[in-house]
Structure 1
Amino acid sequence: MGVGTFGEDGELFFELQLVPANGAPFLIPALLDTGFTDGWLVMDTQNLEALAWTEILGQVEMRTARGEGDFYIYKGRVIINGIEVVIPVHIGRGVPETAIGSAWFDIMKLVVNKPEGILTLEFIESP
């Protein structure tokens, strides 16, 4: 079970491990952006060099909660809840923080009970 945290303004954060093409995975916090309806993960270009992921699609325009932006799609490997998955990752300039999109809800369920401090993201079935 992936346990998340609540931000100061009620944001929902989960920890992911990014898996570079060469090297050890590293942990990052990711904001749950329900306005990012067309993808799994979005991050700034500054993170790309360390990951050395492969581009799979050229420039596309996408919508996030912060508005429209141009992104390149990369084949990314992440570990969430101890399970490694390969997903398309949107990489763009000026992305203020790494965020996960609502595509995760196709394979995971979100449980939120803020008064009790419960925030989890769980796989519906093992991938």
Structure 2
Amino acid sequence: MINGRFGDNKELFFGIELVGANNEKFFVEALLDTGFTDGWLAIEAQDLEALGWSIITLQVEMTTARGSARFDIYEGKIIIDDIEVTIPVHVGEYLPETIIGSNWLDIMRLVVDKPNEMLTLEMVLPEGDAT
């Protein structure tokens, strides 16, 4: 389970680690964006150089809160809730935050308790999986 924090405007932030191709790890706070329904993670293009991830697809067009935008898709590794996973990562220009998408809510439990300032995200194991 990872503890998150509420931003100044009650945004939901969680700490994750980006794992570079050379296995170097970079801690970042990522904004959980439930409106980002087409992906797992989105990062700013300038952050990509340090990671050395491999390209999967160029110039995928998506609708964002700011209108239409193009993203390149890379194969990236991250650590979330102490689990290392390889996921497709949307890489674009002018992203103010590292963003984790709502796809995570298919495999993780989100608990939000605003009155007590508690925010958690926890991987949900498939039935019968004790690891």
TM-score between the two structures when normalised by the length of structure 1: 0.94
2:8 equivalent in structure 1: 8
Instruction: Tell me the CA shift for residue 64 of structure 1.
Output: 3.2
Please identify the structure whose Cα radius of gyration is greater. Answer: 2
1:110 equivalent in structure 2: 110
Instruction: Tell me the CA shift for residue 114 of structure 1.
Output: 0.5
Give the aligned length: 127
| Alignment map for 1:54-93 (pairs within 5 Å) | 54-93=54-93
Residues 86-109 of structure 1 show CA distances to partners (whole Å, capped at 9, x for unaligned) of 110000111111110001011111
Matched, 1:28 2:28: yes
Residues 3-47 of structure 1 show CA distances to partners (whole Å, capped at 9, x for unaligned) of 100001100000010000014211000011111110000011000
Residue identity opposite 1:29 in structure 2: E
Q: Distance in 2 between matches of 1:81 and 1:88?
A: 18
The runs of at least 4 consecutive aligned structure 1 residues that moved more than 2 Å come to 63-68
Does the Cα contact within 8 Å between 1:112 and 1:119 map onto a contact in 2?
yes
TM-score between the two structures when normalised by the length of structure 2: 0.91
Q: Distance in 2 between matches of 1:9 and 1:109?
A: 22
State the SS of the aligned residue for 2:103: helix
Percent of residue pairs bearing the same amino acid type: 57
Matched, 1:39 2:28: no
2:19 equivalent in structure 1: 19
Q: Distance in 1 between matches of 2:69 and 2:100?
A: 16
Q: Distance in 2 between matches of 1:45 and 1:98?
A: 11
Q: Distance in 2 between matches of 1:26 and 1:117?
A: 26
Instruction: Structure 2: state its 5+ residue gaps.
Output: none
Over aligned residues, Cα RMSD in angstroms?
A: 1.4
